[in-house]
């Protein structure tokens, strides 16, 4: 009986190398600062590698203190307080009813307190950042089971506040250019929102509402939502809903406060 010829052994196929996606190059602090404005989608993922936040905070603090210094020199805090009081009819009426000597004492005290608070804004800002990050962290963990760390989210909050430096910078330029101190509003010094155009005779409630529609503030909220999608697995729609949901709560609080004090 004929036998089948033996089949020669087949040469073994070389194993295919496993494709490993290259890790993105680490960014320097300078690259992260610039990238926050021009390429946040490529910048914020680097916060998972390094959650350092001192560089943007230092810039924010320097701009803030510089702004307050210029206000102190060009406007003066007695005038600042006077302008702020005129925007709160109930408080203005109460102070106007005081005897002249008492009124002067109250105004001096408020000017001193406002000045100290204004110069300490960078420290106060850190507390606000921490609280906002905690609220977002708890919401994202509970509602979306987000894969993120608090320190990374906190760093994102600080970086995403960088657009807010443009308001004080514009205010510094206007004050140095000689803009009148009459009507200067320390809390809303430049026309970057519709509330800026509502004077003391306008509705405080409407002013409180429209002031929140600030170009730079909205920019920071958008950056925050984009950043959340970059440092976690949360979908972009969910990130925007959470960020702007808390923003709506804040706006409502400001409106109710204005209604209570007007």
pLDDT tens for each residue of the chain, 262 residues long: 445 555 555 555 555 555 544 566 899 999 999 999 999 999 999 999 999 999 999 999 999 999 999 999 999 999 999 999 888 888 888 888 888 888 889 899 999 999 999 999 999 999 999 999 999 999 999 988 888 999 999 999 999 999 999 999 999 999 999 888 888 999 999 999 999 999 888 899 999 999 999 999 999 999 999 999 999 989 999 999 999 999 999 999 999 998 888 7
pTM, rounded to two decimals: 0.87
Among residues 40, 65, 22, the alpha carbon closest in space to that of 168 is found at 65
């Amino acid at each position: 009986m004929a036998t089948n010829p033996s089949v020669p052994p087949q040469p073994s196929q070389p194993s295919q190398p496993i494709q490993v996606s290259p890790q993105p190059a680490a960014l320097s602090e300078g690259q992260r600062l610039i990238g926050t404005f021009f390429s946040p989608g490529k910048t914020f993922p680097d916060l998972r590698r390094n959650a350092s936040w001192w560089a943007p905070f230092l810039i924010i603090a320097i701009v803030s203190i510089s702004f307050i210094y210029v206000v102190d020199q060009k406007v003066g805090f007695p005038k600042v307080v006077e302008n702020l009081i005129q925007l709160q009819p109930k408080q203005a009426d109460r102070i106007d009813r005081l005897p002249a000597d008492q009124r002067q004492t109250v105004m001096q005290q408020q000017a001193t307190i406002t000045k100290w608070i204004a110069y300490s804004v960078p420290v106060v800002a850190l507390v606000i950042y921490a609280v906002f990050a905690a609220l977002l962290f708890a919401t994202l963990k509970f509602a979306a089971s987000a894969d993120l760390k608090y320190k990374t989210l906190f760093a994102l909050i600080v970086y995403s506040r960088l657009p807010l430096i443009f308001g004080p910078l514009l205010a510094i330029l206007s004050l140095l250019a000689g803009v009148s101190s009459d009507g200067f509003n320390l809390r809303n010094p430049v026309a970057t929102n519709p509330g800026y155009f509502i004077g003391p005779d306008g509705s405080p409630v409407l002013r409180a509402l429209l002031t929140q529609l600030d170009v730079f503030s909205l920019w920071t909220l958008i950056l925050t939502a984009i950043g959340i999608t970059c440092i976690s697995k949360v979908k972009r729609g969910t990130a925007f809903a959470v960020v702007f949901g808390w923003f709506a709560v804040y706006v409502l609080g400001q409106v109710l406060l204005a209604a209570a004090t007007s």
